[in-house]
Amino acid sequence: MLKQRTLKSLTRAVGVGLHSGQRVEITLRPAAPDTGIVFRRVDLPNAPDIVVSAESVTDTRLASTLSCGNAKVHTVEHLMSACAGLGVDNLFVDITAEEIPILDGSAASFVFLLQSAGIEMQNAPRRFIRLTKPVEVREGSGPTEKWARLEPYHGYKLSFEIDFNHPAVDSTGQRVEFDLSTGSYSRDIARARTFGFTKDVEMMRSNGLALGGGLDNAIVMDDYKVLNADGLRYDDEFVKHKILDAMGDLYIIGKPLLAAYSARRSGHALNNKLLRELQAHPECWEVVTFEDVKQAPVGFAQPARAW
Ligand SMILES: [Zn+2]
């Protein structure tokens, strides 16, 4: 049987929120089979839980925000991406403020935390959402058109195309494809950082956003070039970060997908719209388990390879 996974032990980190600039402690703890990923606001009275689901997404303007009643958690996508990339199904995430720490701006710190706690198999079948028919969402038209699509595929593959009309971005790879069965999430995707432009950062700060952002946790660009002294981590780091974000946004559906995702100029909002479209069309997918691990797509039977 292909089994669900959680952590072997708990692990903790301290950082600041990208937008709030607030100090936050995060504790990742093992959770029982079929718990899913649950955020717990331990700083609020009665420590409310926020269970991950497509409907729990209430704001997608700059990051993916989940809510349950008045309890919120902002900027979940990089941690969710690390969980998707390493195949962690069940996890409690205790936080002491409303935003997940940005750490180095990528998913690499979360991968490190999860791997150092150790990943444990659980005695329950891993349930996948397997696409049987394509599902697609579109916005706009012509050169500014955005779209995102899920299609049947025996495995999990993502391809993304960006178009920023900025010299520092346009001189790098604009399109990338990543297949979980042949690539290594930790090596190929997890290290790609979030990015921003100085003119937007100034505007965001005047609106009380991006207060925790800087050259330590983002690629920052002026009108012409990357300002980080060490340059980029990958030649195509920008589009790879979009794959990283998409993996996190899609994992919010609560189960791993067996599908090919492709997108052009998509973001947190359109990715969430795609999940809602998928849920609205149950005739396009089925939930499957693998009694015989040999029937599972290549690479899914074992926990993700290390670096
Ligand atoms: Zn991101």
Mean pLDDT by 10 residues, the chain (307 residues): 96 94 96 97 97 90 89 96 97 97 96 96 97 97 92 97 88 92 94 92 85 91 93 96 97 97 95 96 97 88 58
* pTM confidence score: 0.95
Q: Which two tokens stand for residue 140?
A: 């706009």
Q: Which two tokens stand for residue 65?
A: 């925000």
Q: How many whole angstroms from its chain centre is CA 120?
A: 21
User: Active-site positions?
Assistant: 268
Q: How far is CA 236 from CA 3, 39, 188, 193, in A?
A: 34, 32, 10, 11
Residue pair 37/83 in contact (Cβ under 8 Å)? The answer is yes
Is 241 marked as a binding-site residue?
Answer: yes
Single-letter amino acid code for the residue at 57: V
46: left (phi over 0), alpha (psi -120 to 50) or beta: left
Contact residues for 132 (Cβ-Cβ < 8 A; gap 6+): 152, 283, 284, 285, 286
- Centre of ligand 1 to C-alpha 195, Å, is 8
Is 245 marked as a binding-site residue?
Answer: yes
- Centre of ligand 1 to C-alpha 181, Å, is 23
Helix axes 108-117, 77-86, angle to 10 degrees: 50
- The conformation of residue 208, written as its DSSP 8-state character, comes to T
